[in-house]
Amino acid sequence: MGDIWSGLLVAFGLYSALPLPQVEWKKNTMRFALIFLPLIGILVGVCQLAWLWLAQVWTIHVMLYAAGAVLIPVALTGGIHLDGFTDTCDALCSYGDREKRLAILKDPHVGAFGVLWLLMLLLMQFGLFAQLYDAPGCAALLGMGYAMARAMGGHMIVAQPCAKDSGLARLFSDNAEKTIVAHAMCIWMFVCAVGLVTISRWFGVLAVCAALVFFVYHIGKCRRIFGGITGDLCGMCITLCETLVLVTAVIGGLCLR
């Protein structure tokens, strides 16, 4: 029981910005940490739905709502997955060989391409949230979408080969109970998929299919270009899967309006 509680604190300590007690990262404290990663997604999703409800009750301007909706995941997670997205964009846009791209992922500095793609992503999310405010018929999809995205990212860490001998992905992969965590991530993905379909039927099916197709495509691309996965590549997977569910929620809202 102590290892499970420690794993929860490790997961929330790294993947969220919540002020929780710090736990030393050791084999026993990291064994089951990734199992709790989707819980952070549920927290983000609940906060998004609460913010949408408050914005509608208080008749907040659409631009203020959209800005707040974009900032909620950043505030709750510290932007760790956006960092992975930015670094991955830098690496992919370099058009170098595998070693050069892996070196870019490791470099703490941000390049021009990373900044450009990050701004494009945030601008697109801002526009999607603004449209969701006007047509919120499928907004409930966000409640499960953030959790499913993190289940996919966690599964990548324990089920795919690491591209580097160092880094967070390698650290978690080496110290995790891989079989147990992989099965737990599959259960999380199944539960989230069922939740999405239950919430919004065919638009839930669309959200699940879009996320799964990208998930499979992204894994193949990571193995082909980078030789495996890294923490940054998992962060990109989580970020884009979240965005795909948001896109589906907007499409569903427009169709139901």
Residue 21's pLDDT is what? 80
Residue 29's pLDDT is what? 74
* Rounded (10°) angle between helices 80-93 and 112-134: 130
Q: What residue spans define the domains of the chain? A: 38-170+178-256
Residue 171's pLDDT is what? 83
Residue 169's pLDDT is what? 83
- Taking CA atoms, 241 is separated from 22, 27, 110, 142, 195, in Å, by 29, 29, 22, 11, 16
Residue 103's pLDDT is what? 87
Residue 135's pLDDT is what? 93
Residue 206's pLDDT is what? 96
- Distance in angstroms (rounded) separating the CA atoms of residues 252 and 89: 29
- For the record, the structure tokens of 240 come out as 């884009």
Cα 112–chain centre separation: 23
What value, to the nearest 5°, has the Cα angle with vertex 151 and ends 148 and 154? 155
Q: What region, left, alpha or beta, does residue 75 occupy, with left being phi > 0 and alpha being psi -120 to 50 degrees?
A: alpha
- Distance in angstroms (rounded) separating the CA atoms of residues 185 and 215: 13
Residue 104's pLDDT is what? 86
- Distance in angstroms (rounded) separating the CA atoms of residues 43 and 134: 23
Model-level pTM? 0.94
Residue 2's pLDDT is what? 60
Name the percent of the chain in helix, strand, coil, to the closest 5.
80, 0, 20
- Taking CA atoms, 246 is separated from 52, 67, 92, 231, in Å, by 13, 15, 24, 23
Residue 51's pLDDT is what? 97
> Could you report the average pLDDT of every consecutive run of 10 residues in the chain (257 residues)?
75 86 76 91 96 96 97 94 93 85 85 93 98 95 95 94 84 85 95 94 95 96 93 95 97 91
Residue 25's pLDDT is what? 73
